[in-house]
Chain A
Amino acid sequence: MSDHKPTGIKRWLFTTNHKDIGTLYLWFAFTMFLVGGAMAMIIRAELMQPGMQVVDPLFFNSMTTMHGLIMVFGAVMPAMVGFANWMVPMMIGAPDMALPRMNNWSFWILPFAGTMLVSTLFMEGGGPAFGWTFYAPLSTTFAPKSTDFFIFAVHMLGFSSIMGAINIIATILNMRAPGMTLMKMPLFVWTWLITAFLLIAVMPVLAGAVTMMLTDRNFGTSFFSAAGGGDPVLFQHVFWFFGHPEVYIMILPAFGIVSQIIPTFARKQLFGYASMVYATAAIAFLSFIVWAHHMFTVGMPVAAELYFTYATVMIAVPTAVKVFNWTATMWKGAMTFETPMLWAVAFVFLFTIGGFTGLMLGVAPADFQYHDTYFVVAHFHYVLVTGAVFAIIAGVYYWLPKWTGNMYDEKLGKLHFWLSTISVNVLFFPQHFLGLAGMPRRIPDYAIQFAEFNFMSSLGGFAFGLSQLLFLFIVIKCIKGGEKATDKVWDNPEGLEWTVPSPAPYHTFETAPQIK
C-alpha cells in the first residue's frame, strides 16, 4: 500500500483524502478561533473599565457581531467537521468519505466565505454591527452596505455545511465495515449522524432568512417591514428556527467526543450506550420545537409563551440523562487523568452549569428579567466555550498522537488545561452576577455598579486568550516530534481507530475490517 500523493500546495488544494481534509478543517477552525478570539480581546479591553477608551460604539458592535459569527461558523462548526472527516471513516472501518471530491469542495468554500465575511470590516460604512443574530430591521433598512457581502458569505458557509452533512450521512449509512451495525457505532459517529440531519434541515432555513433580507434590502420586498405589510418578528421566528438547532449542531458532536474519552480513561465502558443514542435523538427532536424561547419578550400570546416554556424545559430530561451517564461511567472506574480526560471532566462540570442556567432561561416569566442581559452571555459561553470548545480541545489531545504519531507534551498539556479552566471561570462566572444585577448585553459602556465584575471578567478573558497560544505551541511541537505513540496510544481504548498504526497511514481500511 503506497501513500502516493501530490506534494506541496497541490496536495492540499486538490486533496480528496479524508485525513488531509480533516486537517485542513481543523487548521482553518483554529485560525478563525484566533481571529474571533482577538475580537473578544478588543471587546474585553473596552469593557475593562467604565467609559469609552479603546473603540467607538459602532466598531464595538461590529466586534461583538463578527466575534459571534466567526466563532460559530468559522471555528466551532468547521472544527467539528474536521473531527468528522478524520475520525468517522476510521471509526466505522471505511477507506474514506463517501463523496471525496465534494469533500474537497465543501472545505475550500470556507476560506473564501471566511475572507469575505472578515473583509466587510474594511468596507465603507463598516462591517455588520447588528449582532450575530442580525435582527431586522437593524440588519435590513438600517444596516451598512457591507451587509450584502455578509449575506453572500452566509450563503457560502451554508453550502459548505450542507455538503459536509450530506457527505457524513452518506458515509455513515453506506460505508460501514461488515458487522458494524448502527447500534455498534461509536457514540461520536452517532452524534454526528444526528447532527448532519439537523444541518440539512436548518441550513436552508438560514439561507431563506438571509435571502429575504437580501430582497428586502435591494429589491423592494417587505418581508420584515411592517410598513409594507411584513413583520420584523417574522425574521426572529425564521432565524431561531435555524438558530436553536444550530446550538445542538455545535454541542452534539461535543457530547460524542466526551463520550469517547471518558470510557477510555475510566477504563470502563460507557454506562448506557443505547440511552445515550436515544437521548441524543430526543435532544435533536426537541431542538426543532422550542425556538421561540429566544424571543419571549417580543409579545407572543400567553399560550405560546406557556408552550415554549414547557417544551424548552423538557430538554433538561435527555440532557440530564447524558450527564448521569457520564457520571455512572466514571463511577467505580479506574481513572487516570491525562490531558484529554482533564478537559472531558471539566466539560462535564462546566457544561452542566451552562445547562442549569439554560433551564433558568427557559422559564418565560423569569426570562423576562434575564433576557438580553449578561446572564445570557454567561450561559451560552458556558455551553459553547467550556462545552463545545473544551470538547474540541479534549478531542485534539485525545487523537493528536494518532494523527501525528507523536505524543504531545503532557506537562504543557496539563498546564494549558489548568490555565484555561481557571481563567475561563474568572472570565465568564462573574457575568452571571452582572446579568442578574441588570447589565444588558451588547453595550460598549456601563453603569459604575458593574465595574468590578467587568474588570475581573476582562482579566480572565486576557488570560484565557493567551492560554490558547500555548495550545498552538503544544500542537506544533507535537507535529514536529516527541515520544513515539503506540498504535493504541492509551491504555486499551475502544474503537477501530486504535487498530491502525500511529500516525494513521494515508489510506486506512482499504480492505474492510470484520466487526464481531
Chain B
Amino acid sequence: MSASKTMKKIGSLLCAGLVMLLPATVFADYKLNMTPSVTAVGQDIYNLHMIILWIVTIVGILVFGVIIYSLINHRKSKGVTPATFHESATVEFVWTVIPFIILVIIAVPATKTLLAIEDTSKSDITIKATGWQWKWEYEYLDSGVRFFSNLDKASNEARQVKSGKDPRKVENYLLDVDNPIVVPVNKKVRILTTSNDVIHAWWVPELAVKRDAIPGFINESWFKAEKTGTYRGQCAELCGKDHGFMPIVVNVVSDSEYSDWLAKQKKAAADADAGAGKTWSKADLMARGKEVYEKNCQACHMANGEGGGPFPALKGSKVATTGPVAAHIDLVLKGKGMMPPFGTQLNAVDTAAVVTFERNAFGNNTGDVVQPSQVSK
C-alpha cells in the first residue's frame, strides 16, 4: 500500500474517532467533565486535568488508530503473509523516551499547582471542620461561632429505606443541610479538618478542596472563592453506615452579609445562654424537643420511638418513663455503648427539651417537665 493511501486511511480513522466524541456535546445537559471551580487554584486544577485529558486522548487516538488500522489490514483473510521483524533498538528507544518526555510536560504544571494548593499561609478566616458519624461540626476560630451541620430534613426523610417519598421531588436531594457554613467572598478561608471518631473527608468540588478529617490529627487546606453562591459537597471517605448522608454546604456571600450572619450567630448563642437560666413552658419544650429529636435521635430510635435492630425503643422504656429524670439526662449527655455522648453537641436547653419530649411523646405521657437548670454538665 502506498504511503499516501496509508495516510488517507489513518485520516479517515481519526475522523471516525472524533465523531465518536460528538455525543459529548449532545449530552451537554449531563455533566461529563470535571466541575469547574470558583477559586483560582481550583481553576488551575481544572486546567491541569484538561491538559492531561487531552494528552491521553491524543495518545489514545494515535495508538488505537494504529491498532485498528492493523486489525483491519493485517489479517490472514486478506491473504497477507506475516512479517518476521522483531526487536529494534531504535524503535524501542524512541517509544521509551517519548512517554518520558510527555511525563515531564505534565509534571511542570502539576508541581506549580501543588505548591499553590499547599500554601496555607496568610489566611483571613479559619474554620475548624470536625467530622462526626454522621454530621459536620464547624467552629469559626476567629469569632467563636460553633454549630453542627446535619443532612436537611426533607432529604433525610426521603432517604430512609423504602420511605415511599420520591427523592426526585426533594430539592438538592442529599446535598442540603440544616446549617450551612457562611464565608465571605474573595477572602482566604483556611479549613482545619479533624474528626471525632473515624476518618472522614471534607470535599466541595467547586471549591476544589478535599482533605481527610483524621481523629487525633489536624489537616490544613484553604480556598478563596471568587464568586458568591452556594457550593455543595459531601464526605468523601467511607465513614460507616451513613457515609453517604453527611453533605457539606458552603454559602459564599458578600462581606456585609457575612458580618450580619456572624452577628446573628453570636446573638443566637447569647440567647441560648440566657434561655438556660429561664423557666420554659411545657409546650415550648415539647416543640423544641421534637426538633432536637428529629435531628439527633430519630436516625436510630425512629420517628415512632420504637427503635429497631440494635437500637432500643424509647416508647414505654424504663429510662424514658418511670426511671429518674437525672438518669435520663445523664444517658443523653454521656451516651452508652453505640450511642454517642450528646453532651458536646446539645446545650442545656436542647437537652432539657429533648428529655421532656421523650418522656411525653410516643404515648409515654409521664407529664414530666425538665428545665434547663436541671441539666448540669
Which residues of A come within 8 Å of B, CB atoms?
Answer: 50-53, 55-58, 61, 125, 129-131, 135, 137-138, 141-142, 225-227, 231-233, 266-275, 297-299, 302, 305-306, 309-310, 313-314, 316-317, 320-321, 323-324, 327-328, 330-337, 345, 348-349, 352-353, 356-357, 359-360, 363-366, 368-369, 371-373, 433, 436-438, 440-449, 451-453
CB <8 Å contact, A321 and B235: no
Which residues of B come within 8 Å of A, CB atoms?
Answer: 30-35, 44-45, 48-49, 52-53, 56, 59-60, 63-64, 66-67, 70-71, 74-77, 80-88, 91-92, 95-96, 99-100, 103, 106-107, 110-111, 113-115, 117-118, 133, 158-163, 165-168, 172-175, 197-199, 201, 203, 205, 208-212, 214-217, 219-220, 233-245, 310
19 interchain pairs, CB-CB under 8 A: A135-B199, A231-B216, A232-B217, A233-B217, A270-B86, A271-B85, A272-B86, A274-B87, A299-B217, A299-B220, A317-B100, A334-B81, A336-B76, A371-B236, A372-B238, A438-B35, A442-B243, A442-B244, A443-B244
> Which A residues are CB-close (under 8 A) to B219?
298-299
Measured CB to CB, the closest approach of chain B to A146, in angstroms, equals: 14
Chain A residue nearest to B76 (CB atoms) is A334
CB <8 Å contact, A306 and B71: no
> Which B residues are CB-close (under 8 A) to A233?
214, 217
> Which B residues are CB-close (under 8 A) to A305?
114, 118
CB <8 Å contact, A335 and B31: no
Chain A residue nearest to B242 (CB atoms) is A57
- Interface SS of B by simple majority: mixed
Measured CB to CB, the closest approach of chain A to B84, in angstroms, equals: 7
A451 to B31, CA, bound (A): 11
CB-CB under 8 A for A306 and B83, given A61-B238, A440-B234: no
Measured CB to CB, the closest approach of chain B to A308, in angstroms, equals: 11
CB-CB under 8 A for A268 and B83, given A52-B163, A324-B95, A369-B205: yes
> Which B residues are CB-close (under 8 A) to A129?
240-241
CB <8 Å contact, A297 and B201: yes
Among B81, B96, B158, B160, contact of A321 (Cβ-Cβ < 8 Å):
B96
CB-CB under 8 A for A51 and B235, given A305-B118, A313-B106, A368-B45: no
CB-CB under 8 A for A226 and B217, given A336-B75, A442-B243: yes
Measured CB to CB, the closest approach of chain B to A188, in angstroms, equals: 18
Among A51, A299, A368, contact of B166 (Cβ-Cβ < 8 Å):
A51
New A-B pairs, 5, CB < 8 Å, besides A313-B106, A330-B67: A142-B133, A320-B96, A360-B49, A433-B30, A433-B33
CB-CB under 8 A for A316 and B99, given A50-B168, A52-B161: yes
> Which B residues are CB-close (under 8 A) to A51?
158-159, 163, 165-167
CB <8 Å contact, A331 and B86: no
